[in-house]
């Protein structure tokens, strides 16, 4: 069970993921979380660096869908100006939103990566759906209420993984 919380890969920030590195793995689609993955949970719009990253993915033919547990207003106001499809109130780690994102992109699961900052929602959900997963360090030091609860559980999981020698990176958060 605990292996479902281990990401396929770990990077410090989303901009460390290049189109070239994804194409080498034959990745053609990205399912990404929004809050504390792409931008701080309280930032209303994309940063210039994130806009460039998204543009580089599009230019490489890699599709992006935002899958967020947040409400429609938050996700829509962020995604619409960027022209990115999204799924709000996704109920991650449940599988329905991941399957919907695959349908939106029309990409096979073996060609899709899930990017997120939370082991309990993004990574667990991606792994349960047999998708490649990448854990990023949260971009903000603060979190919303429910995420703070998840972080406590995540720290316990990381401690257990470290004790078992299954943690392949140093804790960054």
**pLDDT, tens digit, 9 for 90 and up, residues 76-131:** 999 999 999 999 999 999 999 999 999 999 999 999 999 999 988 999 999 999 99
**Which residue segment(s) compose the domain that 106 sits in?**
2-163
CATH number (domain holding residue 10)? 3.40.50.1000
**173 domain residue, yes or no:** no
Sorted by sequence, the CB contacts under 8 Å of residue 105 that are 6+ apart come out as: 28, 29, 63, 65, 112
CB crowding 33-47: b at 16 or more within 10 Å, else e = bbbbbbbebebeebe
**170 domain residue, yes or no:** no
Spatial distance between the Cα atoms of 134 and 138, rounded to a whole number of angstroms: 12
Q: What is the reported pTM?
A: 0.85
**13 domain residue, yes or no:** yes
**pLDDT, tens digit, 9 for 90 and up, residues 140-166:** 775 656 666 666 777 777 777 777 776
How many independent structural domains does the chain possess? 1
């Amino acid at each position: 069970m605990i292996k479902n919380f281990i990401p396929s890969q770990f990077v410090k920030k989303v901009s460390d993921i290049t189109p070239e590195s994804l194409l080498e793995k034959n990745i053609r689609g990205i399912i990404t979380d929004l809050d504390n993955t792409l931008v701080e949970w309280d930032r209303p719009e994309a940063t210039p660096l994130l806009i460039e990253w998204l543009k580089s993915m599009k230019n490489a033919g890699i599709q992006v869908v935002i899958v967020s547990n947040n409400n429609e207003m938050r996700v829509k106001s962020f995604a619409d100006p960027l022209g990115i499809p999204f799924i709000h109130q996704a109920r991650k780690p449940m599988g329905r939103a991941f399957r919907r994102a695959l349908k939106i992109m029309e990409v096979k699961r073996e060609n899709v990566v899930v990017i997120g900052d939370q082991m309990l929602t993004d990574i667990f959900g991606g792994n349960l759906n047999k998708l490649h997963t990448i854990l990023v360090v949260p971009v903000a030091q603060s979190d919303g209420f429910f995420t703070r609860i998840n972080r406590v559980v995540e720290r316990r999981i990381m401690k257990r993984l470290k004790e078992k020698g299954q943690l392949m990176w140093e804790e960054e958060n």
